[in-house]
Amino acid sequence: MRVMNMVFSSVVLGLACTLAGCGENQTGQTSLTVTDKATVDNANKATRVFFNGDIYTVNKQQAWAEAVAIKDNKIIYVGSDEQVEQYIDAQTQVVDLKGKMMMPGFHDVHIHPMESGSDATQFTIPAYGTENEYIDAVYDAANNNPSAQWLIGYGHEVSTLLEMQNTPLEVLNDAVSDRPVVIMEQTSHSMWVNSKALELAGIRSDSVDPVGGVIGRDKSGRLNGILYDNAGELVMEIAMRSLQGSADKDYQGLVEHTMPMLNEVGITSISDARTYWQRGQLDTWQRIADDDKLTLRVALGLWAYPQMNDEVQLEALKKRYQNKADSLLKVNQVKFYMDGILVNTTAAMHDPYHVNILGLYGNKGLNYFTQSRIEKYLKALEPVGFDFNIHAIGDRGITEALNAIEKASSKQNRHRLTHIEVMDPQDYKRFAEIGVIADAQVAGDFTHPNHWAEMIPFLGEERAYDLVPIKSLIESNALLTLSSDWNVSTYNPFVGIGNAISRAPQNITLEQAIASYTINSAYAMRQEQLVGSIENGKLADLIVLDGNLFDMTAAQIKQTQVVMTLLDGEIVYQR
């Protein structure tokens, strides 16, 4: 990289020196004056210039550049160090990148920032533990939270509970019997509850399974303390509504912790993949936006409650739509669950599971929403402007979701299926044919090929392989986005990128992985004309890295650090 042959007076050296490693002479003045070669009108001079960098633009017409000029919040030049000089005057802040890599900010189009960042849960238990360890942990939580109406925990894996000598209900009752307890499993697709929680929720041995859920029972038909999928969601809803001051805690958690953490790893845009509007989460997001505290572009996916009357829910969703062009906060997506998950045998499958845990009819999983019901919602909400984010993990769930979109969509949509773990290969090409976005998460180690064999007991050997087939989808011309599903997986995009390029045989190129976290995801959020690549006229959502991803191995990419993050031309994180 050529070092610019001049520097400029009135440069903000506190900014420049962070990246450039300036010496002791940091007086705010420099030894050279502004060039007289400038040809750009003063009105078009840059607010900030970055030069001497490896700038990866994600723009196929100009993939790499040395310099970027920004005026206020917009990019006004992308190109060479020599040519960027004309955009600089005495008021321009000039940053020497010292060869560091700059790129567009990351998008995470499937993340749970309010849920994952909230301290609503009072305790965490290990994924794997003995009955006595769990009893001690819950007992301690009760002593540490004497005034809590509900004890709300997180952390176990459901397989651990099913292997206990005593039923999970008996174990939890031994720990606490006088107050309701609900503990969310790591994927959020089951809840472990005690008898008091079941009583308050009105769940008895003869209760009928709710839509999209299963009430766990032992071989004798007695309640065993596990509530699968929407059955658990209904109880968690009751527990969450009992909390005092939860809205303030959610606000503080997002502003003081979660958004800064996301900015620190270069994330500048997110889609909240499940906004519980009946719990007031939409109001909390709106309050943050009104207080001008957002450091991200945010699109909310309003949760579609499976048990709610369709007409009532559709009217409620329509009233909450907002898509103001000048706002960082958009309410323009709806989140649906088509099915559950594989390890619970609730993901919707074409063929039966090889194990029968829940006794479901046909042993092919379950539906939160049926194909015909999704079609109904598409016809009602597409004209309003909503895009759908549809959780679909099993091959039947994926097929039915694609069928619904193919039959009921206007084709002017940005709908996406998320997770897409087990797929019928015949459906690969349908994403491109119908115009549906394929959203996948590979940041979690459990999606890596060396873990695929763990699904053999559930699916059989043939179906257990090629899980999350991102390479096959791209080869079938699908538009791929990559996201985190935090806190199921880490929110760090560098881990997702590192895994995406190394998970052979379903690995993709580095260019494809970066596009999936930037321009493709910007498209999913309907903002590809504004951000997602570094181009003239786009908004300055930019990040600077401590190294060039194209010079690294997959393992090294996972260790990458962000040096600076800009949103709308303003620094929101600086290392």
Q: Is the pLDDT of residue 475 over 70?
A: yes
**Residue 136 confidence (pLDDT) above 70:** yes
Per the listing, tokens 């829940």 go with: 358
pLDDT tier for residue 73 given thresholds of 50, 70 and 90:
very high
Q: 528-568 pLDDT, tens per residue?
A: 999 999 999 999 999 999 999 999 999 999 999 999 999 99
Q: Is the pLDDT of residue 272 over 50?
A: yes
How do the domains of the chain map onto residue ranges? 13-99, 108-112+244-567, 121-241
Q: Which fold has domain 13-99?
A: Urease, subunit C; domain 1 (2.30.40)
pLDDT at 39: 64
Q: Which two tokens stand for residue 239?
A: 């527990």
Q: For 76-85, 117-126, 293-302, which range has the lowest pLDDT when averaged over its residues?
A: 117-126
Beta bridge partners of 78: 68
The crossing angle, in degrees rounded to 10, of helices 371-381 and 310-320 is 40
pLDDT grade for 19, boundaries at 50, 70 and 90: low
pLDDT at 4: 41
Q: Are 511 and 64 in contact (CB under 8 A)?
A: no
pLDDT at site 1: 40
**Is the domain 108-112+244-567 a CATH 3.20.20.140 member?**
yes
What pLDDT is stored for residue 487 in this prediction?
A: 87
Tell me: pLDDT of 7 over 80. no
- pLDDT at residue 244 greater than cutoff 90: no
Radius of gyration, CA atoms only, the chain: 25
Between 183 and 7, the more confident residue is 183
Q: Which two tokens stand for residue 57?
A: 């633009």
Q: Any alpha helices (H) in 301-393, and if so which ranges?
A: 310-320, 371-381
Measured distance CA(275)–CA(71) in Å, rounded: 35
Local confidence band at 23 (pLDDT 50, 70, 90 cut-offs): very low
pLDDT tens sequence across 393-409? 999 999 999 999 999 99
For the beta sheet containing 213-217, the strands, ordered from the edge strand earlier in sequence to the opposite edge, are 123-124, 151-154, 181-184, 190-193, 223-229, 213-217
Mean pLDDT across the stretch 312-316? Answer: 98
| pTM attached to this predicted model | 0.92
Q: Per-residue pLDDT averaged across 104-127, rounded?
A: 88
> For 413-545, where are the E strands, in sequence order?
416-419, 437-440, 480-482, 542-545
Question: Could you tell me which residues are beta bridge partners of residue 571?
Answer: 566
> How much is the pLDDT for 33?
28
pLDDT level of residue 122 (50, 70, 90 thresholds): confident
Which residues, 6 or more positions from 47, have their beta carbon under 8 angstroms from its beta carbon?
Answer: 70, 71, 72, 91, 92, 93, 569
Q: In this predicted structure, which of 33-42, 175-184, 356-365, 510-519 has the lowest mean pLDDT?
A: 33-42
Q: What is the pLDDT of residues 442-474, one digit of tens each?
A: 999 999 999 999 999 999 999 999 999 999 999
Q: Which phi and psi (to 5°) does residue 489 adopt? A: -130, 165
Fold of 121-241: Diaminopimelate Epimerase; Chain A, domain 1 (3.10.310)
Give me the residue label for tokens 């499940």: 274
How many other C-beta atoms lie within 10 A of the C-beta of residue 426? 9
pLDDT at 511 over 90: yes
The string of pLDDT tens digits covering residues 139-158 is: 999 999 999 999 999 999 99
The residue type found at 437 is I
- Find the mean pLDDT for residues 16-29: 38
What per-residue confidence (pLDDT) applies to 44? 86
Whether the pLDDT of residue 26 is over 80: the answer is: no
Q: Which distant-in-sequence residues (6+ apart) come within 8 Å of 206 by Cβ?
A: none
**What tokens does 490 get?**
């880490």
pLDDT of residue 40: 73
Name the residue with tokens 């549906």: 436
Residues 6+ apart with CB under 8 A from 253: 114, 117, 118, 119
Q: How far is CA 543 from the centre of its chain?
A: 18
CA distance 131 to 120: 24
pLDDT at 411 over 90: no
Q: Which amino acid is at 533?
A: S
**What is d(CA 93, CA 540) in angstroms, rounded to the nearest whole number?**
15
Q: pLDDT above 90 covers what percent of the chain?
A: 86
Mean pLDDT across the chain: 92
CA atoms within 13 A on the CB side of 96: 16
Q: What pLDDT is attached to residue 119? A: 66
Residue 9 pLDDT class (50, 70, 90 cuts): very low
Query: Strand (E) positions, 288-328?
Result: 297-303
